[in-house]
Chains A and B, each alone.
Chain A
Amino acid sequence: MPDALAIVANTAGKLTREGLRVMGRGATALPGLVALTLDPDFISALSRELPHGVVCVSGTNGKTTTSRMLSDIARATGWAPIHNRSGSNLDRGVAAALLADATWSGEPRGDLGLFEIDEASLPGVVGRVRPRAVVVTNLFRDQMDRYFELDALARRIGDALAGLPAETALVLNADDPLVASLAIRKDANVTYFGVDDDAVGGNVPQAISDATRCPRCRSPLRYERVVLAHVGVWSCPTGDFTRPARDVSATKVVLGPRGSEVVIGGVLASMYDEIRVPVPGLYNVYNALAALATARALAIGLPESIRALANFTPAFGRLETVEVNGKTLRLVLVKNPAGFNAAIAALLETGRHPRLLAALNDRDADGRDVSWIWDADFETLAPAVEHAVITGLRGRDLALRFKYAGLPAEKLAVVDDPAAAIEKALGLAPAGSEVVVLATYTAMLALREALARTGAVAPFWED
């Protein structure tokens, strides 16, 4: 039973939630804020009641897809995960998810907490929720007006994880040296995942210098293969830090336009496990490996996990598709150079010439500094683009980025109003064709709302 204060906070949060529903507003973080204001300890009070404990999913890219995959896996084994899946992935979102699930007396109905936590919030949150497992997918530059510097952030996360009990399962990306450096304690209980197919990735480090230096001794890292930015097969020439052995690993990856076929190896898997990741792109292979490794850390069997994964469908803004008048809109959320480069790599894998609708906003949830677009590889994208319609609060910056990447002016149109931008992009696309929507978080919400008004999609308020 939670204590009295937590029950009061739960009741107040639930009342707020009901009130918002009556007013026709979707799930927001406001009920969570109300509960946390009344009881700052609300999250830990309710988390303690969960029989399977809490899993924190963090990292710059792939949090939502990884936790949704894990949620499907947990549900397939008969568990009832509580998931803060609507992208408001801070304290309030976690509190809101907990109270949405709890009874009026503060007892959870679910049995596993599955919380997406922003990497900057992770050091503060883990101490309070006492997670059973913490997953870190990768650490790239993202919205640094809030997060400041990546190596300082990695140190803070590492220190926070070192303060947890030794039995806490850490699930870490072995191919990301910054993430691999998060396991500071000698007795840490770590499950590592990574990709071990020599055919994946290139030999030349890409031009994003997030972490080309050893996190321990700062020597320049050597790369045998680079998958994306600083993720790949790395080693420190001084030998003080090496890529950890992979417990769950992709030994063979075949990428396709609708998904990937992957052979799973590593210490915890057998070489004969073949899985299908039904969403395209190498980054989704990493998300699947993270989900499988976490399932292993939670003692869920690999065969069940693999079956659940095969039926996975993507979430809001993550390669979700919407049909409008016989044309398809493919929604791709982008928010930082690494995520953008991964998205366009997936887009161009099959030699397509995409028709784009691209939207850039600079609200808090997008990152207020739009400088990152200059680090993203528009130079690779621009020559392939059939045409691009640009919108968003900072659409003019985005149009300028396309101009300097070499997209001719006649292939580029700026339309400020989201609904008009959708109409323009669809108008330029022939019947039966696809428009790829690349947008930052609040820009995607605005486009999604405009689509909801035309009846093309249901209004977005999952909880």
Chain B
Amino acid sequence: MDLRIGHLYPDLMSIYGDKGNVIALSQRARWRGIAAEVRPYSVGEWREPEWPDVWFFGGGQDQGQDLVGADLAGRNGESLRKSVASGAAIFSVCGGYQLLGTEYVPEVGAAIPGAGILDVTTRAGRKRFVGNLVVDSADGPLVGFENHSGRTYLGPKAVPLGSVVVGNGNNGEDKTEGAIQGKVIGCYLHGSCLPKNPWLADRLLQWALERRHTDVKLAKLDDEAELAARTQATEVAQARP
């Protein structure tokens, strides 16, 4: 069995340790004897856009974000939509999450269309949400660090990833954090997210491997260090939000 990871815009959208998510997916595959390969996909023509089983799309600085938005408005956005339609998964964080939505509404000027893969819209906000973020969901708890001024609101096709316990999450109003739609996930959890939240990493691995393999059964790993990090981060978040 093998795993193919496409890293979206690693030169422009890799901030706040988001690279750790790619490390987590690759290592958790390798520890189970599954070969993992990572390829970058950035601005310009993509070679083999149908190759990845799972995409990772991180956050970036504003400068990078407009370049990426413009690139996704062209053929690469179409390729990404096709890839999702053919069964690939996406994990996106912060800027990447916003760019996968239907649109981004800045404080002044016209709305900027997104890739239209997640049914979410984001509006510019004044106050930046910076701090620890603890989230509860039916599938397990999540912890990370948020740092965004955009407010994201979910449309009917997306469901929240979880509900906020500490922090602001999607918009600071409705207590939701993140979005799931099919095999596409977006969230505001930097940290990195996947190493400390191994159940989510394994969910993505499962989805990714199912694209080209049948009877995918992930072996159990020793997650003591992962859960210890999650517990410590959660305790810190509760004591010092």
Contacts and interface: CB of A to CB of B under 8 A. Distances in A.
B11 A212 contact: yes
A238 to B, nearest CB: 15
Nearest to A337: B17
Contacts of B16: 144, 369, 371-372
A394 B225 contact: no
B190 A371 contact: yes
Interface string B15-32: 111111001100100000
B11 A396 contact: no
Contact of A369 (B145, B196, B232): B145
Contacts of A148: 128, 147
B37 to A, nearest CB: 16
A79 interface: no
A394 B61 contact: no
A397 B17 CA distance: 12
B67, B145, B147, B225, most chain A CB atoms within 10 A: B225
A218 interface: yes
A148 B59 CA distance: 12
A58 B226 CA distance: 37
B30 to A, nearest CB: 10
A371 B145 contact: yes
Interface stretch (A43-51, A63-71, A149-157, A163-171): A149-157
A152 B62 contact: yes
B192 interface: yes
Contacts of B195: 374, 400-401, 404
Given A145-B145, A404-B195, A218 B63 contact: yes
Nearest to A146: B130
B61 A149 contact: yes
Contact of B232 (A207, A209, A396, A403): A396
A283 B113 CA distance: 43
Interface string A364-375: 000011111111
B23 A404 contact: yes
A395 interface: yes
A394 B236 contact: yes
A371 B20 CA distance: 8
Nearest to A409: B225
B158 interface: no
Contacts, number: 105
A393 B61 CA distance: 28
A341 to B, nearest CB: 13
B20 A374 contact: yes
B11 A397 contact: no
Nearest to A376: B17
Given A369-B190, A404-B20, A404-B24, A209 B229 contact: no
A132 interface: no
A107 interface: no
Contact of A218 (B15, B20, B67, B232): B67
B225 A374 contact: no
A369 B147 contact: yes
Interface in B126-155: 128, 130-132, 145, 147
A327 interface: no
Contacts of B186: none
B60 to A, nearest CB: 8
Contacts of B67: 218
A145 B94 CA distance: 14
Nearest to A148: B128
Contacts of B190: 369, 371
A375 B225 contact: no
Contact of A396 (B20, B132, B231): B231
Interface string B37-61: 0000000000000000000000001
Contacts of B63: 149, 151, 213, 218
Contacts of A141: 15
Contacts of A261: none
Nearest to A373: B17
Contact of A375 (B19, B64, B236): B19
Interface of A: 141, 144-145, 148-152, 207, 209, 212-213, 218, 220, 362, 368-375, 393-397, 399-401, 403-405, 409, 414
The 5 closest A-B pairs by CB, nearest first: A374-B20, A371-B17, A374-B17, A396-B229, A396-B232
21 contacts: A144-B15, A145-B147, A207-B14, A209-B11, A209-B14, A213-B64, A218-B63, A369-B16, A369-B147, A371-B190, A372-B17, A374-B17, A374-B192, A394-B232, A394-B233, A394-B236, A399-B229, A400-B196, A404-B20, A405-B23, A414-B228
